[in-house]
């Protein structure tokens, strides 16, 4: 599943392509993924797109009074077709001949400049929802704070950790109720940056260690966004390119390899059902 930096990369690219366009037609090919009543369709047709933004791991298409919320989940993909060009973000499932729609196409949006946005999804875990602006505001308020936002203060970070003293620090970082958008990759990398072992209980962290971690989280996320996210074999950004951050990973996906700092071996265990990576020498 793409995490915050990958979704942010898609959002920035799509914002450049979709801003100020109007949706003139929408077709749902899969009611599980997206279903609109006739009146709901009318609510979004011919409305100018004010912009494309991100909330947590979701893509938000802002239609002023309404919002289209898109979650790619594990195998979702957005493909924007404009004349003879295609740009894709998410899971790379375009057929080799690039014909669209394909058997994985679930929703199709047509715009006033004749460009078309396809939401494709192999396993149908992803979804698109339409919300009124005030409904989305309430929904957004129930999510955790953005780790790159002004509300992610040291005081807030200390407060949420204090609520879960017996939880491992890795699992605390993955709890989307408190902090939105951090997933497995960037939890491991942030903990490495802060030199904290992922399986330590929250109550064992010192004030100095909490501050180091608080500083590490936005640093790692911003650095990943700069390099357009992390790409393995199933992720490309909205320009159809792979992210470059994989070259800069210090521990994630490097089990059995030498630590880039001390030369020791990077280790891996299962923690809360998630593969977890750390350096036994660098992290305490």
Residues known to be catalytic: 2-3, 57, 274
Pair 113, 261: CB distance under 8 Å: no
Alpha helix positions (H), the chain: 4-18, 38-44, 133-141, 154-162, 169-174, 184-194, 207-226
The C-alpha R_g of the chain, in whole angstroms, comes to 20
Q: How far apart are CA 108 and CA 111, in angstroms?
A: 10
| 146 backbone dihedrals φ, ψ, rounded to 5° | -80, 125
Pair 76, 93: CB distance under 8 Å: no
* Residue among 137, 171, 159 nearest 64 (CA): 137
Q: How far apart are CA 276 and CA 251, in angstroms?
A: 9
Bond preceding residue 17 cis, omega within 30 of 0: no
* Residue among 3, 29, 194 nearest 103 (CA): 29
């Amino acid at each position: 599943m793409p995490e915050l930096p990958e979704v942010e990369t898609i959002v920035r690219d799509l914002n450049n392509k979709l801003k100020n366009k109007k949706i003139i037609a929408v077709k749902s090919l899969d009611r599980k993924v997206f279903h609109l009543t006739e009146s709901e369709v009318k609510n979004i047709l011919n409305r100018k797109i004010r912009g494309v933004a991100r909330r947590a791991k979701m893509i938000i298409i802002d239609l002023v009074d309404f919002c289209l919320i898109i979650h790619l989940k594990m195998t979702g993909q957005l493909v924007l077709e404009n004349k003879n060009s295609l740009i894709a973000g998410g899971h790379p499932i375009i057929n080799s001949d690039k014909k669209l729609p394909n058997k994985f196409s679930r929703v199709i949006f047509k715009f006033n400049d004749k460009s078309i946005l396809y939401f494709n999804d192999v396993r149908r875990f992803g979804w698109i929802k339409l919300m009124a602006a005030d409904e989305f505001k309430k929904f957004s308020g129930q999510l955790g704070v953005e780790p790159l936002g002004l509300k992610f203060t040291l005081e807030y970070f200390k407060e949420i950790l204090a609520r879960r003293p017996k939880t491992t620090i890795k699992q605390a970082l993955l709890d989307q109720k408190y902090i939105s958008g951090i997933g497995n990759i960037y939890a491991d990398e942030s903990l490495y940056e802060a030199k904290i072992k992922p399986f330590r209980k929250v109550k064992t962290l010192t004030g100095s260690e909490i501050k180091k971690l608080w500083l590490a989280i936005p640093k790692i996320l911003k650095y990943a966004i700069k390099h357009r996210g992390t790409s393995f074999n199933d992720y490309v950004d909205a320009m159809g390119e792979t992210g470059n951050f994989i070259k800069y990973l210090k521990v994630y996906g490097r089990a059995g390899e030498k630590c880039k700092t001390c030369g020791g071996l990077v280790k891996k265990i299962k923690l809360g059902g998630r593969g977890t990576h750390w350096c036994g020498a660098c992290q305490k």
